[in-house]
Chains A and B, each alone.
Chain A
Amino acid sequence: MSTGTSSNEAWGSRIGLILAMAGNAIGLGNFLRFPVQAASNGGGSFMITYFIALLLLGIPLMWIEWGIGRNGGRYRKGHMPGMLAAIWRHPAAKYLGVIGMVIPLVVMIYYTYIESWTLAFTWFSLTGDYFGRDTQAEMVNYLQSFQGVGDPATRVHAAWTPYAFFLVTLGINIWIISKGISGGIEKLARIGMPILFLFAIVLAGVVLSLPAGPDGSTPWTGLNFIYNPDMSRLGQPSVWLASAGQIFFTLSVGMGSLQAYASYLSTKDDIALNGIATAATNETAEVVLGGSIAIPAAVVFFGVSGAMAVAQSGSFNLGFATMPVVFQQLPLGQLMGAMWFGLLFFAGITSSVAMLTPIVAFFREEFGMRREPVCYTLGLMTLVFGLMHIVWLEHGFLDEWDYWAGTFGLVLLAVVETIIFIWVFKPENAWRSIHQGADIQIPRIFKFVMTFVTPVYLLFILCWWGWQDAWPILRMERVTPGSEFYVLLSRGVIVLFAVVSAVLVRMAWKRNGYNDRAGFREPEPRPEGAHEVRL
């Protein structure tokens, strides 16, 4: 059985790998979504359920995904259809893997668009464009004007503005991906991650040293707002689901990108310690830094009730409307604003470049295509479908993709991969696979957790969300009148992606003569010296 065209790529160093993996995980959710979720779901009690979800879902899934990815890499498979087929010798495996191609592609398209807002607002901060609009309502209007939604009479931006920033953001993404794993993605992580942490530390320091606001609230009032425990909320399933959902978003599990990164490792490389280091780095960025910027700043200037109202109106209002109002009250406000949006931009781009990696790997490995043409074609495709988001933003086009791919889809892929890696591959094999080349021995309790607790937890979340959200959303019960066509169109595009991906997978299997029941043959080892660095 042939193995297709190998990519022959590898990570340059262990620190580069961890930074890239952490960059993949650290995204907009760390700085915008986490504080809002914590504050709205019982503060300290949310943190209890959050850490339980981290231990029972997040960290086990990290190891599972690193394990699946590295196992796929043995056969030079950097995409989910190949990775799942490498574990489960059944014709259905490759088609289940299609979920892991559609999700990163769909999320990458709309995520890049949101990322372009952060680039735009970095520019608007540097040039002081929004300075003078110093109320929440004025900044919400400014944000909507940029997005091209709301009342056209109150728009202050030229109509081409969101398109221009999207084009530039997409161009940077595609250029980095076209440079390869070590030359593009790892270099970006080595530059972007230290900048991200530097900006976050400076901003957290500035926010935490703010004097009391108009109503006497201090940054510590804001931290109290996030961490004050409301233990009565522990009995509410919604709090447990919110924390589990946050763990998914923040660690980027169920996406297909983490596995793709891990496929460039060999069985001599550690994944147990690297996996925990990646998760821990992400958690530091989220809990220590993410929780210390937006909410404490909003509380100082708007009081607890004002910050609560902003948080409940959505994460984007907090980040793109409230924070600019805050920066206008600070010394060096333009610089602070640029650092905030620059931080979000680096958080976003280190995640978005990861999302196209499995798709690029698929075309390179299965169809023998060169990296650059694949990247440019995918870039063109992202541009076309991204434009739909810009044009139809107010019709819920983006929300629909965010729910089906960026929320429900993540859990669905996590359920599929966990069942295949743990139950089909057998827990003993999975455990042994994760420990190959390991620098640490994972406590055996996690074998029990991965075998029973994580899959059951995941199935519970999937069923609960299915009943609570997916069914009403599918029936379009919450769609604004007049937007039904756009919602159906947006779903149609996702279905189209799934069908095209399934056809391409079938073509790839035929082209390369794969036999589902026989499994893949391990390729010839890399030439001596091609992968000297043990990660």
Chain B
Amino acid sequence: MTSSAVVFMAASWSFVLGLTLWSFARILKQQK
């Protein structure tokens, strides 16, 4: 993979996974 493709993939995955983990962490915190 080219370094620019790695950057785009890493940024894309980090964004969606980060948003998912953050939102579910908030939901679980609210439910406690």
Listed in ascending order, the chain A residues whose CB lies under 8 Å from chain B are 14-15, 18, 43-44, 47, 51, 220-221, 223-224, 226-229, 270, 273-274, 276-277, 279-281, 283-284, 286-288, 439-440
Q: Check A273/B26 contact, CB under 8 A, given A47-B8, A227-B9, A227-B12.
A: yes
CA–CA, A105 to B9, complex, Å? 37
**From B10, which residue of chain A is reached at the shortest CB distance?**
A227
Tell whether, in the assembled complex, residue A439 and residue B26 are in contact, meaning their CB atoms are under 8 Å apart: yes
CB distance from A184 to the nearest CB of B (A): 23
Q: Which residues of B contact A229 (CB under 8 A)?
A: 4-5, 8
Residues of A within 8 A of B16 (CB): 280, 283-284, 286-288
Known contacts A44-B5, A227-B5; is-contact A51 B24 (Cβ 8 Å): no
Say yes or no: B1 contacts A220, CB within 8 Å.
yes
In the bound complex, residues from chain A placing their C-beta under 8 Å from that of B1 are 220-221, 223-224, 227-228
Please pick, from B5, B9, B19, B31, the residue contacting A276 in the complex, using a CB distance under 8 A: B19
User: For chains A and B in complex, what number of residue pairs have CB atoms within 8 angstroms?
Assistant: 73
Residues of A within 8 A of B5 (CB): 43-44, 223-224, 227-229
Q: Closest Cβ of chain A: how far from B14's Cβ, in Å?
A: 10
Q: How many residues from B make CB contacts under 8 Å with A?
A: 21
Asked whether A288 lies within 8 Å of B15 as measured between CB atoms, the reply is: no
B32 to chain A, nearest CB (A): 12
**Which of A270, A276, A280, A288 has most chain B Cβ within 10 Å?**
A280
Bound CA span A378–B6, Å: 48
Bound CA–CA A276/B24 (angstroms): 10
Q: Is the CB of B27 within 8 A of A18?
A: yes
Decide: A277 and B20 in contact? CB cutoff 8 A: yes
CB distance from B25 to the nearest CB of A (A): 10
Complex contacts, B23 vs chain A, CB 8 Å: 273, 276-277, 280
Measured between beta carbons, the chain A residues less than 8 angstroms from B24 are: 277
